Structure 1
Amino acid sequence: MIVRNKNFLVIGVAKSGIAVTKYLLSKGAHVVLTDIMSKEKISTEVGQLLKHPNLKGIFGEQPPQSLLVSINYIITSPGVPMDIPILERARKENIEILNEIELSYRLISSWTIAITGTNGKTTTTSLVGEIVKASKRETFVVGNIGTPMISFIDKATQNSCFVVEISSFQLEGIQQFHPKISAILNITPDHLNRHKTMENYIFTKSKVFSNQVEGDITILNADNVNTFSLVNRTKGRVVLFSRSLSLDEGVCIKSNEIVVKDQGKTIPICPISEIKMPGSHNLENVLAAVAITYYANIPVEVIRSVLKKFKGVEHRIELVETIKGIDFINDSKGTNPEATIKAIEAMSKPIILIAGGMDKGTDFTELISFFQGKVKHLVLLGETSDQIEHIARKQGYNNIIKVSSMESAVTKSYEIANEDDVILLSPACASWDMFSSFEERGNLFKEIVRSLKGV
């Protein structure tokens, strides 16, 4: 793909939009960067970029459709809705619309592993990245995990490996993206405000393997009905993993040990007791990571060694502090009910749950049903607090406190907590009603918790 002297419209000034703009300018392209955010609110980094002679900025409004006369390619950020007027017009004019992942893929010759799923993406991607790095292969862990893929394509060689966490928003823009190994960890209801139906959401997730061919590997969760339903939709070789089934082929549990069953052989990988991360959901993430790396031809001893050391990722069931016998757990990455259910299941002590956030059109009924015998108090904040309260009271759960800030949520929780309780931030919602990201939400929670140590 030729970039030099081409005209690009980049929509969105989040991480990927900024990274794409920097790359394109460095290669001699002409760029129009646009966002509905006003010019006063854009970052200093974007402000500095705007000094480049090949960059024009349009902020605080939708870009005029007259721009399209001179545009060769449009690059969208993941949060940009695909039905905005300028994109509808661009399709009619046959202007190619790409996202950062698709653009990056077209510019590399490296080996690619892609990991998607409703939950567990970041943990699994991080673990796979650590295992591949330990095999002495140059590895770049990128994508929805927080680092744009395009930031590393100049450093990558044909022998490098990109381990890509890819979200449903990013998968919407896939056209040629072709990972040698793809994995779908699970699919449960999420982002239905964007995808409208579960059928659309499942189809979007399946795009991770849409360009795979015979000789490629597609890894699916046999325990999740939605992922298992996709076994006949890929042209790649299907490898299953399961926490509950004894598989004839794939990765599963045998006598409390993770094993790979491959062409009649049973290869022991690691006893479950030696895995450091808490929770049954993390066991699923480990099984997926084993499947990915085993079929990427990583030596078993390397896989085993990393599994025994890996402790998890920030913002996912992360122990922040224990104060006066009370554990404070940061699970800000729990952005949907299924993730929060898994966090609740991972706790062995009584829970004070801090939840609520941006409304994604989610049903919280099942979440509330998991409170019995586990969640002693529910502290709510954010856009969905009224909705969650209504559903909880309808189900007979009344130990509810509503607050307006994270600081109030933490201090109120601490006031009502007893020794041997857990204060768990696991919002079951996105962060964008009050915060720029789940990381910002989690970091504020940790900052407030640590300020309590002197109280």
Structure 2
Amino acid sequence: MELKHKNILILGLGISGVSTAKALNKLNANIVISDKKKKDELKQYIDELRDIKVKYVLGTNDVDLDNDNIDLIIKSPGIPLNLPIINEAVERGIEVITDIELAYRISSNQFIAITGTNGKTTTTTLVGEIFKKANRACHVTGNVGVGILWELVNSNEGDIFIVEVSSFQLESTKYFKPKASVVINITPDHLKWHGSFENYINAKKKIFANQNKDDYTILNYDDKLLRKMSNEVCSNVIFFSQYSELEKGVYVKDDNIVVNDGKRIEPVISCSEIKIPGRHNLENALAAVSVGWVMGVELKTIANTLREFEGVEHRLEFVDEVNGVSFYNDSKATNPDAAIKAIEAIESPIILIAGGLDKGNEFDEFINNFNNKVKELILLGETAIKIKDTAIKLGFKNIHIVENMKKAVEKSYELAKRGDNVLLSPACASWDMYKSFEERGKDFKIAVNNLRRLNE
């Protein structure tokens, strides 16, 4: 795909927008950037592009497509497809894609793409560590780390790209075809954005839509939706499972992860040796083992990585212990299913901090999975009343609503006894109070650190 002297509009100036702009500049494209935020709100990103010639249209997305002779639009993942500027572009035959799609089109590198409602970042990072330990040149990117395009234009031809892809990114792909794709799980999420669970599922399916018999699609056999979805796959399907022995695939047998190639079964590692805790992280580990296996990494190397990998910040991250009370940061739990998995992974008794942006999820299953492990529920954010009403309806009444994270941490410590675990696992997105789940998690950690200082 030739980009030299093309007029390209980038919608959204965030991490991916900066990466895209820097890459397009290196490829000698003409760059227009539009963002609804104003210049003072975008200063840190604009500063990163100060040495690049860019035309900015800020505070609005009303770009004159004719005047700027726009040839292509690259939208940031968070930009919805129903914007008037996108509708106008489609009517005029101007293509609208994401950076993931563009990266694939301008590259000959192999891609490993990983998606799922939960576990994407941990699995992607773990796969990256496996490849690094195997001395395979790779880049861990996409919905994690720096933007993919800047990584790509500074890579070597044989490098492998291990890419975390969200439904937002997949929705705008057309030709994207990874060598190996992974769908870890699918549960309802981002329903307001996609309009329905069916639309959300269809976006996820695009990860394997263009794959063929030379490629691999790795699916969670324990997820009935994914098991059924395998009938739509045209590549080599590899299943993984925590609970079923498979004729071919990666699964747990006698508390060991094993690989079955259809002819013989080879042990990889005992589940007890895996460093990251919880059944959901065993699911992530099985997915990562599957990727390493189909891509030819030695099983010994995969096992050694699993013994050493400590997880990712904001994913069931142990923060500190204050006078016998342990604090865990699981800010990445941006939907009820992710929070349920965190509750399952942490020992009781739990004091749970939850709440945030309302994405349209219901919280009945979330409350029903407390299973006498959660003794107190502290709520904040936009969904606080919604979760409280659901909890009361289901018979859980130890509920406290607070204004901010500092007060949530202080209240949790006030309620806690020695041996209790305080778990931040919001079951909601962060955007009602924070710019990102990372910022929310860091605020939690700051509050815990302040608590420690006050109690030393």
- Same structural fold, with TM-score higher than 0.5 when normalized by the shorter chain: yes
The corresponding residue for 2:206 is 207
CA-to-aligned-CA distance 1:202-257 (integer Å, 9 cap, x gap)? 11111000110112000000101121121111110000000011111101111111
Q: Is the 8 A contact 2:19 2:146 kept in 1?
A: no
> 1:347 & 1:148 partners in 2: Cα distance?
33
Structure 1's consecutive aligned runs of 4 or more residues displaced over 4 angstroms after TM superposition are 65-69
The corresponding residue for 2:19 is 19
Q: Counterpart of 1:33 in structure 2: which amino acid?
A: I
Q: Counterpart of 1:276 in structure 2: which amino acid?
A: K
Q: Is the 8 A contact 1:350 1:375 kept in 2?
A: yes
Measured after TM superposition, the shift of residue 180 of structure 1 is 0.4
The corresponding residue for 1:35 is 35
Measured after TM superposition, the shift of residue 199 of structure 1 is 1.2
> 1:324 & 1:390 partners in 2: Cα distance?
33
Q: Is the 8 A contact 2:185 2:220 kept in 1?
A: yes
Q: Is the 8 A contact 1:128 1:292 kept in 2?
A: yes
Measured after TM superposition, the shift of residue 51 of structure 1 is 6.3
Q: Counterpart of 1:126 in structure 2: which amino acid?
A: T
Measured after TM superposition, the shift of residue 394 of structure 1 is 1.0
> 1:71 & 1:51 partners in 2: Cα distance?
22
Give runs of aligned pairs for residues 255-334 of structure 1, distance below 5 A. Answer: 255-334=254-333
> 1:43 & 1:167 partners in 2: Cα distance?
26
> 2:340 & 2:46 partners in 1: Cα distance?
39
Structure 2: any 5+ residue segments left out of the alignment? none
> 1:283 & 1:214 partners in 2: Cα distance?
28
CA-to-aligned-CA distance 1:244-285 (integer Å, 9 cap, x gap)? 111111011111110011022101100111111110111111
> 1:11 & 1:269 partners in 2: Cα distance?
45
CA-to-aligned-CA distance 1:93-141 (integer Å, 9 cap, x gap)? 1111111111111222111100000001111111100001111111100
The corresponding residue for 1:2 is 2
> How many matched pairs?
454
> 1:39 & 1:156 partners in 2: Cα distance?
31
Change (3 A) 1:253 1:48: closer
CA-to-aligned-CA distance 1:349-397 (integer Å, 9 cap, x gap)? 2111110111111111100101231111111111111111111111111
Normalising by structure 2, what TM-score? Answer: 0.97
Measured after TM superposition, the shift of residue 340 of structure 1 is 0.2
The corresponding residue for 2:78 is 79
> 2:65 & 2:311 partners in 1: Cα distance?
48
> 2:162 & 2:129 partners in 1: Cα distance?
10
Partner SS state of residue 57, structure 2: strand
Give runs of aligned pairs for residues 111-122 of structure 1, distance below 5 A. Answer: 111-122=110-121
> 2:73 & 2:442 partners in 1: Cα distance?
34
Q: Is the 8 A contact 1:142 1:165 kept in 2?
A: yes
Q: Answer yes or no: is 1:344 the counterpart of 2:343.
A: yes
Measured after TM superposition, the shift of residue 147 of structure 1 is 2.1
Q: Counterpart of 2:8 in structure 1: which amino acid?
A: F
The corresponding residue for 1:181 is 180
Q: Is the 8 A contact 2:89 2:95 kept in 1?
A: yes
Give runs of aligned pairs for residues 278-427 of structure 1, distance below 5 A. Answer: 278-427=277-426
Q: Is the 8 A contact 1:137 1:159 kept in 2?
A: no
Deviates more, 1:62-71 or 1:330-339: 62-71
Partner SS state of residue 367, structure 1: helix
The corresponding residue for 2:161 is 162
Partner SS state of residue 163, structure 1: strand
Q: CA RMSD in A?
A: 1.3
The corresponding residue for 1:107 is 106
Measured after TM superposition, the shift of residue 158 of structure 1 is 2.6
Q: Counterpart of 1:32 in structure 2: which amino acid?
A: V
Q: Is the 8 A contact 2:348 2:374 kept in 1?
A: no
The corresponding residue for 1:448 is 447
Measured after TM superposition, the shift of residue 24 of structure 1 is 1.2
Structure 1: any 5+ residue segments left out of the alignment? none
> 2:285 & 2:239 partners in 1: Cα distance?
13
The corresponding residue for 2:238 is 239
Give runs of aligned pairs for residues 134-173 of structure 1, distance below 5 A. Answer: 134-173=133-172
The corresponding residue for 2:222 is 223
> 2:244 & 2:376 partners in 1: Cα distance?
35
Q: Counterpart of 2:399 in structure 1: which amino acid?
A: I
> 2:294 & 2:42 partners in 1: Cα distance?
43
Q: Counterpart of 1:439 in structure 2: which amino acid?
A: E
Q: Counterpart of 2:293 in structure 1: which amino acid?
A: Y
Q: Counterpart of 2:181 in structure 1: which amino acid?
A: S
Normalising by structure 1, what TM-score? Answer: 0.98
> 2:257 & 2:44 partners in 1: Cα distance?
48
Deviates more, 1:10-19 or 1:153-162: 153-162
CA-to-aligned-CA distance 1:273-311 (integer Å, 9 cap, x gap)? 111111011111111111111000001111111111112
Percent identity over paired residues = 46
> 2:45 & 2:366 partners in 1: Cα distance?
40
The corresponding residue for 1:45 is 45
